[in-house]
Amino acid sequence: MLKWIGILIVIGLLLYFFRFRMAAICVWAVSGIVFAVLLVLLAIESHQDKVLNEIAIEENKKNGEI
């Protein structure tokens, strides 16, 4: 996804350079949306990791491994 964001930013810069300002703004908006989605997915993954680690610790305590 980071590659997509970088590619979209470069495409936006090229469009802006060639005076397609509205198209450049649209491409930059899409880039921002992809970045926001990436941040949300990272937050969800972090929460899931925390929950799964807590579950694993509880199971280890029940089995007497800790």
Position 37 confidence tier, pLDDT thresholds 50, 70, 90: very high
pLDDT tens track for 43-63: 999 999 999 999 999 998 888
Whether pLDDT at 66 is above 80: no
What sign has the CA pseudo-torsion 56, 62, 65, 66?
A: positive
Q: How far is CA 37 from the centre of its chain?
A: 5
Position 1 confidence tier, pLDDT thresholds 50, 70, 90: confident
What is the reported pTM? 0.77
pLDDT tens track for 17-27: 999 999 999 99
Q: How far is CA 66 from CA 20, 55, 57, 59, in A?
A: 63, 13, 8, 10
Contact between 28 and 8 (Cβ < 8 Å)? yes
